[in-house]
Amino acid sequence: MAKTKILFVTHEMSPFLEISKISEITRQLPQAMQEKGFEIRILMPRFGNINERRNRLHEVIRLSGMNIVVDSNDNPLIIKVASLPAARMQVYFLDNEEYFQRKKVFRDDKEGFFKDNNERSLFFCKGALETVKKLGWSPDVVHCHGWFAAMVPAYLKTVYKDDPTFKEAKVMYSLYENEELESLGSKYAEMAAQDGLTAEQVAHYGSGSKVDLYKGALSFTDIAVLADQGIDDEIKSFIKDQGIRTFEPAGDDDYEAFAELFDEFSTVDVETASA
């Protein structure tokens, strides 16, 4: 028998932040997999409307102190952690004063889409992978949820492809029907291309629209998870044309099917891991 190590990367998770159905899936799926014996880590941003006192977040000094470069600017990364006692899980939060300490998540008080959401996404994607490296923990599967994590698959398959932490990791990307997103603009891909990616490699990210973000992420994804029935036909055609493997659970709580899928990528013997 073997034990799969699964990294969940998401912008929202119940009870910390609840914007869409993603928050409930990323709350229940990791717990269900942990209860089946898988080893879990969860990373998300520490947006300003997440109450630190109520949720008992505290800084992890040994993980904090890194600088993440976005568009040639150094940005300090602070790592915090909170526990979900009922689930026996810990959640790691990525924080930065400029990008995340705002009362709103993606829109300002006038409902305008933040102009730097492209930078905020890249900071999170790079920061998440650097945090896992610093943890000294090598995931077998990296399961990404939501448009905010769209550059994680690209980074994993290019910049980090030879890094021992991620060398064997499979990438899963969950697709959702009703994600709230305005275009991140073509600068999203341009800024990513400064970080060991070429402009050609990130070409599918195109205009930074939801469809283009999904195409970009999927072009570096091993398994596309169809988390909703109403996925855009253009995305479905792209998946088919690219020959990307798909996984369509019977429902959000089809944990047996998820467990069977994750089991395919086990690399660590349970006996060895527990020794």
Q: What are phi and psi of 219, to 5 degrees?
A: -65, -15
CATH 3.40.50.2000: does it fit domain 2-274? yes
pTM across the whole model: 0.94
Q: Judging by DSSP bridges, how do beta strands 66-70 and 39-45 pair with one another?
A: unpaired
The domain ranges of the chain are 2-274
> 35 Cβ partners below 8 Å, 6+ apart?
none
As given in the structure block, the two tokens for residue 115 are: 């102009």
pLDDT of residue 196: 77
pLDDT of residue 178: 79
CB atoms near residue 244 (< 10 Å): 16
pLDDT of residue 266: 78
pLDDT of residue 272: 40
pLDDT of residue 93: 97
pLDDT of residue 271: 43
Give the residue from 35, 27, 92 showing the smallest Cα distance to 262. 35
The count of C-alpha atoms lying within 13 angstroms of the C-alpha of 131, restricted to the half-sphere facing its C-beta, is 30
pLDDT tens series, the chain, 275 aa: 458 999 999 999 999 999 999 999 999 999 999 999 999 999 999 999 999 999 999 999 999 989 999 988 899 999 999 998 788 899 999 999 999 999 899 999 999 999 999 999 999 999 999 999 999 999 999 999 999 999 999 999 999 999 999 988 999 999 998 787 889 999 999 999 977 789 999 999 999 999 999 999 999 999 999 998 889 899 999 999 999 999 999 888 899 999 999 999 876 544 444 33
For residue 225, with 0-12 CB atoms within 10 Å meaning exposed, 13-18 middle and 19 or more buried, which class applies?
buried
DSSP state of 1: -
CA distance 77 to 248: 35
pLDDT of residue 270: 42
The answer to whether 16 and 44 are in contact (CB under 8 A) is yes
The answer to whether 228 and 176 are in contact (CB under 8 A) is yes
pLDDT of residue 137: 94
> 199 Cβ partners below 8 Å, 6+ apart?
189, 190, 193
Place of tokens 């044309």: 241
